Amino acid sequence: MGQGVWRKYLKLLAFLPFGRDGYTDLPIWHTYAGVLLNEYHRWILWVPVFLGIGVGVYFSLKFEPAWYAAPAILTLCLIIIWKYKARKLIVFLSLAGAVLAAGFIAAELRTLSVAHTVLDKEHGPARITGQVSSVETRPRGLRLTIDNPVVRWLEAFETPQRIRININTSTGEDILPGDWVRVYAVLRPPQEPATPHAFDFQRYAYFKEIGATGFSYGAAEVIHQSKSMPIPSMLEHLRVTIGNKIRERLTGTTGAIAAALITGDRGAIPEATVDAMRDAGLAHLLAISGLHIGLVAGFVFFCVRAILALIPPIALRYPIKSWAAVIALCAALSYTLISGATVPTLRAFAMMALVLGAVMIGRRGISMRLVAWAATVILLLRPESLFGASFQLSFAAVTGLIAAYEYLNQRFSGLWRTSGMIRRLALYACGVGFSTVVASVSTAPFAAFHFHQLASYGLLSNLVAVPLTAMWVMPSALLGIVLMPFGMDSLGLVPMGWGIDIVVSVAETVAPLPGNVKLIPQFSMTALLTFVAGGLWLCLWSRAWRLLGIVAVSAALVIAANPRQPIVIVAPNGELFGISMNDTLAIVGPGANGNRFTQRVWFERAGLKNSPFRNPPPDDHGLRCDLQGCALTTYESSIALIWEESALLEDCWRSDVIISAVPVRMNCAGPSVVIDRFDLWRDGAHAIYINGDTLEIENTFQTRGTRPWTGNRKGANNDQS
């Protein structure tokens, strides 16, 4: 077949999304540019996308950029827009560049605004005094966030402005935000990633303005109860008080979940229950998001409008629909503040505010522009949230749902109005099932990337749990909160507990079903970004060329199906080594019986269940271990893992790669690569990959570089809870 025929078929393939009439003799670039210009009404939807690209570029750098770089690009783009304002395509591309630069600038400004002191090494145990700004309930104690602490034997310029301490005891006084406390604790710098590309807790803590974490020796003592508090502390005080009262009325797991649904504090929920909810596909019910905000606002709107409609003088003379929308908006705002104002909650409130605002003026509220508005606000105010699972999951779900219902609305708009009661119940069940499928498909890549598992029977559990939450649990919760100041909250909280018990029973029944949980090995960021690009292209455009997004999604699935897994992982402190062998991880090293957090991260990223650890494992698959270290033979390379200095004498002349938890002070001429305790201290966790017949070594310093949140890595290698 000649070259001209191949070009003809490739050109025809490029025009398939436009239909038969789209195939012309014009160059492909001209045709796509024309379709882009014809979709000008959808350009606004790409504003948060390019903002996110700018934010992502900033955070992906390995160094802190010059302050003038992004403003210069923004200025250049604006000049081009002004000069070529009649050229629509140039205007679109320049606008995209300007918005991208704006996202970059927002990330820079946010980084500067939260700059604070970070502890550089472990300190304590020492006496710490300070004012509590946040209290989180844990299964075995509390977790306190303390502002402006005074730490004994630590100079003021070395002391972080905010620290977080686990109080691992259930005894002691009741502690509320605003209280001044004294506690004896060990402080550590925020933990660096357990392996390259893993969750960066240091960056998370930096933007939370947390400069140190730690654990206490004994309970915390309240030394003063402050009467005057700033508004954030007052809200936190109210939130904790409500949570404590709920857990008094409803004990155990039921009370912990009830408090989580109202105040957002999930720390007291037992780990087994959280695992069951996640395995059953019901974890979204525990995180306050659009479902909960929508239910509260919708229930209040319906009740207020129904009550006002029963009063003819008011119903006939005044806009009761607008009044109900105003009261529902106030209820949604109150719920957002009480629940902690997390990213999903803020996204849901921003969207609900626009929806209710549209109701007030008689306009249609639900649209993709609503999502774009909420994402834009959050990315400008909290650009670091782009990398959080909550941001990605919540926006992926709502974008997929709105895109799906936009497509189906014209086809099924009259079906509901012409249906009777029985048929409407059936349509509601189908709607819940359809929404679950769409949301599950939309969020599956993000769930697999962050949590490394998928629930196969999520549709089954959601068909029961979502209607129950919507019709019983949340209305009862709202009734309990309204009656709480009068001491009659049991009238709402007790029925709420009944509904929660049923939801938990559903989760515990579905979670252990055979074949339910699919473990997913960690795949690359390239696969995730390819999926995001394809999904956005499919959802944000309206014409037939949107179908090209399916190509990108398919490519992402192919890339994700072939993840690259390391054969050896080394913890930042050098006390833990993970070796891939026989479809599991062999955990060896002097810290193999501890460091459970690091081990859990390794197993999750490998797509494996935590298994009984072997230290040292028996000789198997080229792995030999003794009390001094291990030797791994793979292909033509040998890797020595050492945690006793005496093993260096033998391994220094027979190994190709040496990774040592102790300093290598002798002249090791045999190995091509020597990584010792000082390299681990300086560069963080290491991972070794097989690339053909060669070995590739990667560390966290290579993947993160030197940024404000990386700080001094000394002492930051301990597990944090």
* Other CB atoms within 10 A of residue 649 CB: 9
Section 571-599 average pLDDT: 83
Instruction: Encode pLDDT of 309-329 as tens digits.
Output: 988 888 888 889 889 999 999
Q: How would residue 502 be classed by pLDDT, with cut points 50, 70 and 90?
A: very high
Q: pLDDT tens for residues 366-375?
A: 678 888 988 9
Please tell me the predicted confidence (pLDDT) of residue 24.
45
3-state secondary structure of 441: helix
pLDDT(614) > 50: no
pLDDT for residue 180 is more than 70? yes
To the nearest 10 degrees (0 to 180), the angle between helices 252-263 and 490-510 is 110
Question: pTM value?
Answer: 0.85
Distances (CA, A) of 497 to 253, 455, 465: 10, 25, 14
Average pLDDT (520-544) is 91
Q: What is the pLDDT of residue 9?
A: 42
Residue pLDDT, tens place only, 182-224: 999 999 999 999 999 999 999 999 999 999 999 999 889 898 8
| Residue 717's pLDDT band (cuts 50, 70, 90) | very low
Mean pLDDT of 657-665: 87
∠ at Cα 198 (215, 581), nearest 5°?
105
Burial (CB < 10 A; 0-12, 13-18, 19+), residue 205, is buried
Spell out the alpha helix ranges (H) of 114-146: none
Query: For residue 719, what pLDDT is reported?
Result: 41
Q: Answer whether residue 363 shows pLDDT above 70.
A: no
CA 448/CA 454 separation, integer angstroms: 6
pLDDT level of residue 346 (50, 70, 90 thresholds): confident
What type of residue sits at position 583?
A: D
* pLDDT value at 390 more than 70: yes
What is the chain's mean pLDDT, rounded? 84
Would the pLDDT of 255 be above 60? yes
Most confident residue range from 139-143, 692-696, 702-706: 702-706
Q: Is 219 helix (H, G, I), strand (E, B) or coil?
A: coil
629 SS3 class: strand
* Separation CA 586–CA 624 (nearest Å): 11
Look-up of token digits 């209820």: 331
Handedness of CA 607, 610, 616, 618 (dihedral sign): negative
Angle of CA points 527, 705, 50, to nearest 5°: 50
What average pLDDT does this structure show over 401-426? 74
8 A C-beta contact, residue 442 and residue 396: yes
> Could you give the CA distance from residue 622 to residue 633 in angstroms, rounded to a whole number?
5
Reading the block at residue 370, the tokens are 């609503």
**Structure tokens, 670:** 């045999």
pLDDT at 34: 67
Whether 613 shows a pLDDT value over 90: the answer reads no
Q: Residue 644 in contact with residue 627, Cβ under 8 Å?
A: yes
Q: In what order do the strands lie in the sheet with 637-642?
A: 623-625, 629-634, 637-642, 657-660, 673-675
Q: Which of 16-30, 33-47, 627-641 has the lowest mean pLDDT?
A: 16-30
Using an 8 Å Cβ cutoff, are 463 and 432 in contact? yes
Q: What angle do CA 459, 521, 623 make, to 5 degrees?
A: 145
Domains and CATH numbers, the chain: 3-113 (no CATH), 123-229 (2.40.50), 248-519 (no CATH), 525-560 (no CATH), 568-704 (no CATH)
Alpha-helix runs per DSSP H in 114-230: 201-207
* pLDDT > 70? residue 172: no
User: SS3 for 2-58, per residue?
Assistant: CHHHHHHHHHHHHCHHHCHHHCCCCCHHHHHHHHHHHCHHHHHHHHHHHHHHHHHHH
pLDDT at 98: 95
Question: Taking a C-beta distance cutoff of 8 angstroms, is the pair 342, 390 a contact?
Answer: yes
Q: What is the reported pLDDT for 532?
A: 95
Interior angle at CA 208, CA 205 and CA 210, nearest 5: 60
Model pLDDT, residue 170: 65
Q: How many CB atoms lie within 10 A of CB 223?
A: 10
More confident residue, 292 or 343: 292
Q: At 660, which helix (H) or strand (E)?
A: strand 657-660
- Report the C-alpha gap between 475 and 467 in whole angstroms: 12
Most confident of 287-291, 430-434, 477-481: 477-481
Quick one: pLDDT at residue 55? 96
- Cα–Cα dist 578/583, whole Å: 12
* Contact between 455 and 490 (Cβ < 8 Å): no
Report helix, strand or coil for 138: strand
| CA separation for the pair 621, 618 (Å, rounded) | 10
CA 431 to chain centre: 27
**What residues form DSSP beta bridges with 224?**
180
In this structure, what DSSP letter does residue 158 have? Answer: G
Range list of H helices, 85-230: 88-113, 201-207
In SS3 terms, 300-365 reads as HHHHHHHHHHCCHHHHHHCCHHHHHHHHHHHHHHHHHHHCCCCHHHHHHHHHHHHHHHHHHCCCCC
Give the pLDDT confidence score for residue 416 in this predicted structure: 63
Distance CA 563, CA 520 (A): 10
* Gap between the Cα atoms of 168 and 496, Å rounded: 30
Residue-wise pLDDT tens digits, 636-652: 788 888 888 888 877 88
Q: How confident is the model at residue 1 (pLDDT cuts 50, 70, 90)?
A: very low
pLDDT at res. 417 = 65
CB of 123 within 8 A of CB of 187? yes
